[in-house]
Amino acid sequence: MTHKLNRTRDVLMHLKHYIKGRTIDMGAGSAKYRSIIKGHASEYVAFDSTPGGKIDVVGDVLKMPFEDESFDTVISSQVLEHVKRPWVMVAEISRILKTDGVCLLTAPFMAPYHADPEDYFRYTQEGMKSLFQDDFEIVECQPYGKTFMVFFEYVKQVYFSPYKKTRRGLWSERFLRYLEKVCFYLDDFVRNDQVYANVYIVARKK
């Protein structure tokens, strides 16, 4: 397990050297990783199913409005679990990627239910590799977010879920930050490869 990587932002920082050329952020949402990606891409395209101020192109990840082999890098963070036919999404990634282009993708393994708007799947390393095995060379595939970070994610979802219409005061924000730091610290003492929050894959198109 990659012990120093707990958050998706950590993973993208760890993998940023793979980002190059024209890059699409699939399921960009609020485009919160824009600054990381734009620092390495020659062009950044934020793609999402929902219009928003930071979204460049609106569409469906299962049928994207782009030409074949039009991107050098595809990035998708915590989107795959919301897709009813993930194998079709991977086929679309293959279609829009240039040969030798790279896909960086993250998805949850042990995470609470979070419909946005739906929540279909969870992924192990083996499951993730199987989705990409036909058209891609698997460069890296690792879990991230260890045992106590799994606990943290469940606490956050139950009491402070962004999908619930609840008021979150300053105290709750401080508590979450404190709890996250405690869980991050405790995970240094745990060696367990069976309990992890998420998985990432780096796959190069053949």
Cα 83 to Cα 80: distance, rounded to the nearest angstrom: 5
CATH class of 8-146+195-205: alpha beta
Asked if 12 and 50 touch (Cβ cutoff 8 Å), the reply is no
Mean pLDDT of the chain: 91
Helices 125-132 and 86-96, axial angle in degrees (round to 10)? 50
Task: Report H helices in the chain.
Answer: 8-15, 34-38, 86-96, 125-132, 147-160, 170-186
Note the pLDDT of residue 177: 86
3-state secondary structure of 128: helix
Q: How confident is the model at residue 48 (pLDDT cuts 50, 70, 90)?
A: very high
Q: How confident is the model at residue 129 (pLDDT cuts 50, 70, 90)?
A: very high
Q: Which residue do the tokens 């309990």 mark?
A: 195
Segments making up each domain of the chain, as ranges: 8-146+195-205
